[in-house]
Structure 1
Amino acid sequence: MNTVTRPRILVVGAGFAGVECVRRLERKLSPDEADVTLVTPFAYQLYLPLLPQVASGVLTPQSIAVSLRRSKRYRTRIIPGGAIGVDLKSKVCVIRTITDRILDEPYDYIVLAPGSITRTFDIPGLTDHAFGMKTLAEAAYIRDHVIAQLDLADASQDPAERASRLQFVVVGGGYAGTETAACLQRLTHAAVKRYPRLDPGLIKWHLIDIAPKLMPELGEKLGRSAQEILRRRGIEISLGVSIAKAGPEEVTFTDGRVIPTRTLIWTAGVVASPLIATLDAETVKGRLAVTAEMCLPGHDGVFALGDSAAVPDLAKGQEGAVCPPTAQHAMRQGRHVADNVIATLRGQAMRPYVHKDLGLVVDLGGRDAVSKPLGVELRGLPAQAVARGYHWSALRTNVAKTRVMTNWLLNAVAGDDFVRTGFQARKPAKLKDFEYTDAYLTPEQVRAHVAGTARLDR
């Protein structure tokens, strides 16, 4: 009796791109057309743009972590782990599960959407003493840490210790860094009223970036407006400056200043997932070089998108232009690549990806925001309405929308709360502890592992 096996579609990553791809595949493919498998350490989609609001306590962590299993139609098999290597020739993905078991997952079609990791540099002490803002765990941890600094400063009898615990440094003048500094500064400004022994003047926030402008994508006027808002709140902004070295109780800037601090938050950009390096394929600034259809040239059935792929930006009409690593592109690329996978399965022609950028929104907390929807520059409450309206509409489920809206309304009426949740252990967890960048294999190790497993199976 002949057994006909269904094509195996493997999707790597449950970010905006991966989840949108899986949802589209489930809607448009009948169950007997293909088997769909998703590789992700967590069975939820994280709405990353709202992470600073989790760190500041405006939103609860579960409100922006949308379960992948809520849909009654969900039939995708989930492997709880991360892809650590791909053998394109053998069509095998090597996976490390959350229990550190190594699996070999064969595929017929693979969609690579592993996302990105925090970009770091060879700065002494950086990974040992800095916090990141890329995961839900990091956001919750930073909130605990910042409130703990207020508690410890209030209890301290040492003026030097008190001063160092009440200074905070954020590196990165992009959207993540700017929103993180803005939201957390509002938290400490509100919280210090509950600490009568603390001098509010001792709380200082520093936002630094090596670039000459804050969020240059916003343009000159809006970028300047954002700076004015932050400076009016008391945040010290230093441009053209980075970190020379980091220690447990102080940070040295490249301009020679030494800032006593116990809190260094690093948000200076992202790079493609280390998984891309295991493919031994052409890259563009670390991102996988793909066609406008999001296919990997020379390899049938291999698609890549999102932060880890250099997808040509045809809407710009400029040679060499690639899509920026933003949520609006990732979501649309996810749906588009699913259509191209289905077209390939059915022997139809694929379509190139084209999307014109809808604009930018920056939520600075409270009534402060700057937005540029469709090129229209907005500030204040209109910008805040656009920013929150965009984020709210982009949330995937009605449950998530309800939770976020409820959190926003509760925060507006009742204000912030300053409770430490207890996530912070006695052993500090820093940048190196949240992103497992040492878990990936080299291309040679991938090939050797797959070949060794194949010999054992024979």
Structure 2
Amino acid sequence: MARPRILVVGAGFAGVACVRRLERRLPPGEADIALVTPYAYQLYLPLLPHVAAGVLTPQSVAISLRRGKHRTKVIPGGAIGVDAKAKICVVRSITGEIVDEPYDYIVLAPGSVTRTFDIPGLKEHGCGMKTLAEAAYIRDHVIAQLDLADASQDESERASRLQFVVVGGGYAGTETAACLQRLTTNAVKRYTSLDPTLIKWHLIDIAPKLMPELGDKLGRSAMECLQRRGIEISLGVSVAEAGPDKVTFTDGRVIPSRTLIWTAGVAASPLVGTLGAETVRGRLAVTAQLTLPGFDGVFALGDAAAVPDLEKGDGAVCPPTAQHAHRQGKKAADNIIASMRGEPLSPYMHKDLGLVVDLGGRDAVSKPLGVELHGISAQAVARGYHVSAMRTNVAKSRVLAAWALNATAGDDFVRIGFLKGRPPPLGELDYVDGDGYLTPQQVREHTASVIARMPEHG
């Protein structure tokens, strides 16, 4: 009898946690495990602002999937469709070829993509902050603006190069603005003709509060910390139009700026739409056991799934955070093993460990287990949490060494060449090689042709 095949889609927190749990709890001969991912690393997304600021190298937050001895087969590509009836996942490999991966159990953890809106000029002139390439590009771009402003004799050009706009008052936007503002504040000291007072950072969000998850007191503390550092925060405001050298806000203000960083939310991966299943605000509507109703052998979790939050009740779903994704990955693995062995599945339950926000340098706010902290103590908790959450000792060591070096030697301000080739329009790096996904009908037609070509159907 053939061994069951477990296919995990996505190498984020959820997918990697699921794979590692399966490897630990399943004997080698009980099942085959495969992981579909375009890159053979897990991106530690919470520290991406540190990469953009140059505190960490890209390699520090790209945790290798091949370090150590693992029996999971890594399939280099991205899933673009799932036929749950035929139990086939359609994968576009990194060479562009279409590969059909059969499965007995599939774990859908493809994560999320940048959520954009129909704002004139946004895709052409906005930069995302969800990939290593985007973080590295933003760092080069920001330093280049200082270089070009220093060399320019045109006051209007200088003004547009020295103003920076970050859209999104969540964790990603707030930490990105904080870390990059610290970078420019330190960098401007190295320029002979730049007035530090001309450098302005704008953080805007359509929401009425900055990081509402922190609560009123801690959220206000974070906001005041950023304002003391000179970051202008505007709430209830978004972007009306983006241009090559200016950004127009919805309140009518026009900011001369050549830097627009967009972190205003995420949407579930378009892969979820290929199944034709019920969704909740774009995320797959799954049970508390992480199964997809009506779809045999399909589990979904992380940013792509609306997992019931049994702690809150009243129809609440778990927020798309790394903490939830990691725990759901372990629970999905346990439930797959239970399903294989004919045992009952258990629901996903969680206890919130708290929140951490790194604002760069000595500034931070955190709320571990409900205790509100500020400054150095909060920074120690935030960085301690990130190091403990990293999967390998090599990754932990790289990050700790980089933080120590930065604390003693200070920032560096070297561009590495990403400015020569601007990334694709905003959001396109989230997709598989820039290509779209299949519709449910296209998936069915494709798998039907694959099945028809099989010898037993000849």
TM-score, length-scaled by structure 2: 0.97
Q: 2:10 matched to which residue of 1?
A: 13
Task: Sort the Cα spacing of 1:432 and 1:393 in 2 relative to 1 into closer, same or farther, 3 A.
Answer: closer
Q: Distance in 2 between matches of 1:147 and 1:433?
A: 24
Q: Distance in 2 between matches of 1:61 and 1:151?
A: 23
> 2:258 matched to 1:265?
no
Which of 14, 34, 37 in structure 1 is aligned with 2:34? Answer: 37
Q: 1:293 matched to which residue of 2?
A: 289
Q: 1:139 matched to which residue of 2?
A: 135
Q: 1:347 matched to which residue of 2?
A: 342
Which of 96, 104, 107 in structure 2 is aligned with 1:108? Answer: 104
Q: Distance in 1 between matches of 2:347 and 2:410?
A: 47
Q: 1:334 matched to which residue of 2?
A: 329
> 2:225 matched to 1:229?
yes
Using the TM superposition, give the Cα deviation of residue 429 of structure 1 relative to its aligned residue in structure 2, in angstroms: 4.1
Using the TM superposition, give the Cα deviation of residue 426 of structure 1 relative to its aligned residue in structure 2, in angstroms: 4.1
Q: 1:371 matched to which residue of 2?
A: 366
Q: Distance in 1 between matches of 2:405 and 2:39?
A: 28
Q: 1:396 matched to which residue of 2?
A: 391
- Asked whether the equivalents of residues 115 and 265 of structure 2 are also in contact (C-alpha less than 8 Å), the reply is yes
Deviations 1:178-236 (A, max 9, x none): 00000000000000001111111111100000000000111111111111111111100
Using the TM superposition, give the Cα deviation of residue 159 of structure 1 relative to its aligned residue in structure 2, in angstroms: 1.2
- Asked whether the equivalents of residues 128 and 432 of structure 1 are also in contact (C-alpha less than 8 Å), the reply is no
Q: 1:83 matched to which residue of 2?
A: 79
Q: Distance in 2 between matches of 1:444 and 1:158?
A: 56
Q: 1:65 matched to which residue of 2?
A: 62
The one-letter code sitting in structure 1 at the alignment partner of 2:296 is D
TM-score, length-scaled by structure 1: 0.97
Q: Distance in 2 between matches of 1:290 and 1:443?
A: 18
Which of 115, 131, 138 in structure 2 is aligned with 1:119? Answer: 115
* Partner-residue secondary structure (3-state), 2:452: helix
Q: 1:172 matched to which residue of 2?
A: 168
Residues 390-429 of structure 1 mapped to structure 2, 5 A cutoff:
390-427=385-422, 429=424
Q: 2:248 matched to which residue of 1?
A: 252
Using the TM superposition, give the Cα deviation of residue 315 of structure 1 relative to its aligned residue in structure 2, in angstroms: 1.7
Using the TM superposition, give the Cα deviation of residue 305 of structure 1 relative to its aligned residue in structure 2, in angstroms: 0.5
Task: Sort the Cα spacing of 1:173 and 1:162 in 2 relative to 1 into closer, same or farther, 3 A.
Answer: same
The one-letter code sitting in structure 2 at the alignment partner of 1:91 is K
Q: 1:242 matched to which residue of 2?
A: 238
Q: Distance in 2 between matches of 1:433 and 1:270?
A: 13
Q: Distance in 2 between matches of 1:333 and 1:389?
A: 22
Using the TM superposition, give the Cα deviation of residue 160 of structure 1 relative to its aligned residue in structure 2, in angstroms: 1.0
Q: 2:439 matched to which residue of 1?
A: 442
The one-letter code sitting in structure 2 at the alignment partner of 1:352 is P
Q: Distance in 1 between matches of 2:420 and 2:65?
A: 29
Unaligned runs of 5+ in 2: none
- Asked whether the equivalents of residues 114 and 427 of structure 2 are also in contact (C-alpha less than 8 Å), the reply is no
| Segment drifting more, 190-199 vs 424-433 | 424-433
* Partner-residue secondary structure (3-state), 1:439: coil
- Asked whether the equivalents of residues 46 and 64 of structure 1 are also in contact (C-alpha less than 8 Å), the reply is yes
* Partner-residue secondary structure (3-state), 1:424: helix
Q: Distance in 2 between matches of 1:400 and 1:237?
A: 34
The one-letter code sitting in structure 2 at the alignment partner of 1:307 is D
Using the TM superposition, give the Cα deviation of residue 299 of structure 1 relative to its aligned residue in structure 2, in angstroms: 1.6
Q: Distance in 2 between matches of 1:297 and 1:58?
A: 45
Using the TM superposition, give the Cα deviation of residue 100 of structure 1 relative to its aligned residue in structure 2, in angstroms: 0.8
Task: Sort the Cα spacing of 1:218 and 1:93 in 2 relative to 1 into closer, same or farther, 3 A.
Answer: same
Q: 2:180 matched to which residue of 1?
A: 184
Deviations 1:283-316 (A, max 9, x none): 1111100111100111221100001001111122
Using the TM superposition, give the Cα deviation of residue 427 of structure 1 relative to its aligned residue in structure 2, in angstroms: 4.3
The one-letter code sitting in structure 2 at the alignment partner of 1:148 is A
Task: Sort the Cα spacing of 1:357 and 1:232 in 2 relative to 1 into closer, same or farther, 3 A.
Answer: same
Structure 1's consecutive aligned runs of 4 or more residues displaced over 6 angstroms after TM superposition are none
Q: Distance in 2 between matches of 1:92 and 1:122?
A: 34
- Asked whether the equivalents of residues 290 and 307 of structure 2 are also in contact (C-alpha less than 8 Å), the reply is yes
Q: Distance in 1 between matches of 2:169 and 2:259?
A: 17
Using the TM superposition, give the Cα deviation of residue 21 of structure 1 relative to its aligned residue in structure 2, in angstroms: 0.4
Which of 281, 293, 309 in structure 2 is aligned with 1:313? Answer: 309
Q: Distance in 2 between matches of 1:441 and 1:189?
A: 46
- Asked whether the equivalents of residues 222 and 370 of structure 1 are also in contact (C-alpha less than 8 Å), the reply is yes
Q: 2:451 matched to which residue of 1?
A: 454
> 2:148 matched to 1:152?
yes
Q: Distance in 2 between matches of 1:188 and 1:210?
A: 25
- Asked whether the equivalents of residues 208 and 237 of structure 1 are also in contact (C-alpha less than 8 Å), the reply is yes
Using the TM superposition, give the Cα deviation of residue 70 of structure 1 relative to its aligned residue in structure 2, in angstroms: 0.3
Deviations 1:351-370 (A, max 9, x none): 11100211110000011001
Which of 209, 216, 220 in structure 2 is aligned with 1:213? Answer: 209
Which of 406, 411, 426 in structure 2 is aligned with 1:431? Answer: 426
- Asked whether the equivalents of residues 84 and 296 of structure 2 are also in contact (C-alpha less than 8 Å), the reply is no
Structure 1 vs Structure 2: percent identity of aligned residues? 77
- Asked whether the equivalents of residues 56 and 403 of structure 2 are also in contact (C-alpha less than 8 Å), the reply is yes
* Partner-residue secondary structure (3-state), 1:367: coil
Q: Distance in 1 between matches of 2:421 and 2:320?
A: 35
